[in-house]
């Protein structure tokens, strides 16, 4: 049974500041929740199923997930070592490097896409180099991957860096005195102990990759990822056609991220 009196007493004895904060917080939560919720319930399950059966939609969603996953793998291999170095060492110019890592978050992503074209376009430096290896970026999946990588890597690096910082350096010291090489100390001690932060950073990076639109569109309008497809359908056919795709994308992401968050949380607790 709900003890109304106890709840009433608690609310009345709460200080005014907390009541105000609670109300303000409720507004922003509703602001996030309401649009997603209304859109999701205003499309019928049969409509969603029909949309999913269209090959174009299913492959766009899968491509989003796949390309973002590739970007995350590349980001993991290149970003984790940097995160570790930044967590363990202080050096002049460290602030500049940390600022550089945050840069993709603050610049407009369409501009980021254009900047990437200037390096990875076939006529440009890396673009022509990769072309000789048979890898092209513009209008190709690798283009989608680097666009996603560019805009989402800060999330993984920052989260992993915080995770490594929380690992006492003396744990590595003890491991070393016990005979572990620097590599062994890293893989047996530092990495497992920071895994919670690393995993949640990985999830964030993947999520950010999937949701990317601006930078991807500049490099590769085709093959179409889900966010581009939503935009294309909205432009060509209007809201009713765009919505089911959007809902499907949101649902797919939601299921995956809730699952991963739960795992990350459990890991962090251990």
Partner 1 sequence: MIEIKDLSVKLGAFLMKDITFDVQDGEYFVLLGPTGAGKTVLLESIAGLKSTESGQISINGRDVTNLNLEKRNIGFAYQDYVLFRHLSVRDNISFGLQWRKKTRREIKDAVDKVVELLGINHLLERRPLSLSGGESQKIALARALAIKPDLLLLDEPLSAVDPETREATERELKELHNRLRLTTIHVTHNFEEAMALGDRIAVLGEGRIVQIGAPEQIFRHPNSEFVARFLMTRNIFEGEVQDSPEGQSVFCVEGAKLAVVTALRGRLHASIRPEDILVSREPPRSGTPNSFQGTITHISDHGSVIYLTVNAPPEFTCLILRRSLEEMGLEEKQRVFITFEASAVNIF
Question: Residue 255's Cα: distance from chain center in Å?
Answer: 15
Question: Please, which of residues 68-87 interact with partner 1 by CB under 8 A?
Answer: none
Residues in contact with partner 1, counted by CB under 8 A, come to a total of 18
Q: 246 near 230, Cβ under 8 Å?
A: yes
Q: Which is nearer to partner 1, 44 or 173 (CB)?
A: 173
Q: Which is nearer to partner 1, 23 or 178 (CB)?
A: 178
Least CB distance to partner 1 at residue 10 (A): 33
Residues in CB range of 229: below 8 A, 6 or more apart: 56, 57, 60, 245
Note whether 179 binds partner 1 by CB under 8 A: yes
Q: Count CA within 13 A, CB hemisphere, residue 72.
A: 21
Note whether 193 binds partner 1 by CB under 8 A: yes
State the DSSP H helix or E strand holding residue 108, giving kind and residue range, or none if neither. Answer: none
Buried/exposed code over 50-82 (b: 16+ C-beta within 10 A; e: otherwise): ebeeeeebebbbebbbbbbebbbeebbeebbeb
Longest CA span, the chain: 75
Least CB distance to partner 1 at residue 258 (A): 25
State the DSSP H helix or E strand holding residue 138, giving kind and residue range, or none if neither. Answer: none
Interface residue with partner 1 among 189, 207, 215, 246 (CB under 8 A) is 189
Q: Which is nearer to partner 1, 6 or 269 (CB)?
A: 269
By rule CB under 8 A, what string of x and - marks binding of each residue 137-176 to partner 1?
-------------------------------x-xx-xxxx
Note whether 177 binds partner 1 by CB under 8 A: yes
Note whether 225 binds partner 1 by CB under 8 A: no
Q: Which is nearer to partner 1, 69 or 180 (CB)?
A: 180
CB atoms within 10 A of CB 186: 18
Q: Which residue intervals of 107-238 are DSSP H helices?
A: 109-120, 125-132, 141-166, 169-177, 182-185, 191-193, 195-211, 214-219, 226-237
Note whether 187 binds partner 1 by CB under 8 A: no
Note whether 192 binds partner 1 by CB under 8 A: yes
Least CB distance to partner 1 at residue 168 (A): 6
Q: 183 near 244, Cβ under 8 Å?
A: no
Q: Which is nearer to partner 1, 128 or 181 (CB)?
A: 181
Least CB distance to partner 1 at residue 75 (A): 24
Q: Which is nearer to partner 1, 100 or 174 (CB)?
A: 174
Q: Which is nearer to partner 1, 128 or 173 (CB)?
A: 173
Note whether 265 binds partner 1 by CB under 8 A: no
Note whether 50 binds partner 1 by CB under 8 A: no
Q: 108 near 214, Cβ under 8 Å?
A: yes
Contacting positions for partner 1 (CB under 8 A): 168, 170-171, 173-181, 184, 188-189, 192-193, 270
């Amino acid at each position: 049974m709900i003890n109304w009196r106890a709840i009433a007493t608690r609310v009345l004895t709460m200080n005014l500041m907390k009541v105000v904060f609670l109300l303000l917080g409720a507004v922003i939560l509703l602001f996030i929740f309401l649009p997603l919720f209304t859109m999701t319930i205003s499309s019928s399950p049969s409509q969603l199923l029909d949309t999913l059966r269209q090959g174009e939609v299913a492959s766009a969603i899968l491509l989003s997930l796949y390309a973002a996953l590739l970007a995350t793998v590349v980001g993991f291999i290149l970003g984790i070592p940097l995160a570790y170095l930044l967590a363990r060492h202080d050096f002049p110019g460290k602030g500049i490097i940390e600022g550089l890592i945050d840069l993709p978050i603050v610049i407009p992503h369409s501009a980021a896409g254009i900047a990437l074209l200037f390096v990875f376009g076939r006529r440009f430096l890396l673009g022509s180099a990769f072309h000789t290896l048979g890898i092209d970026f513009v209008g190709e999946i690798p283009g989608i991957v680097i666009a996603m990588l560019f805009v989402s890597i800060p999330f993984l690096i920052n989260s992993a860096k915080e995770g490594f910082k929380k690992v006492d350096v003396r744990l590595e010291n003890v491991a070393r005195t016990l005979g572990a090489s620097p590599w062994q100390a890293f893989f047996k001690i530092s990495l497992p102990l920071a895994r919670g932060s690393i995993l949640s950073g990985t999830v964030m990076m993947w999520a950010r990759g999937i949701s990317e639109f601006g930078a991807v569109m500049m490099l590769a309008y085709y093959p179409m990822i889900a966010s581009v497809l939503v935009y294309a359908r909205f432009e060509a056919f209007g809201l009713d056609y765009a919505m089911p795709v959007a809902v499907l994308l949101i649902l797919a992401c939601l299921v995956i991220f809730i699952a991963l968050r739960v795992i990350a949380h459990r890991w962090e607790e251990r």
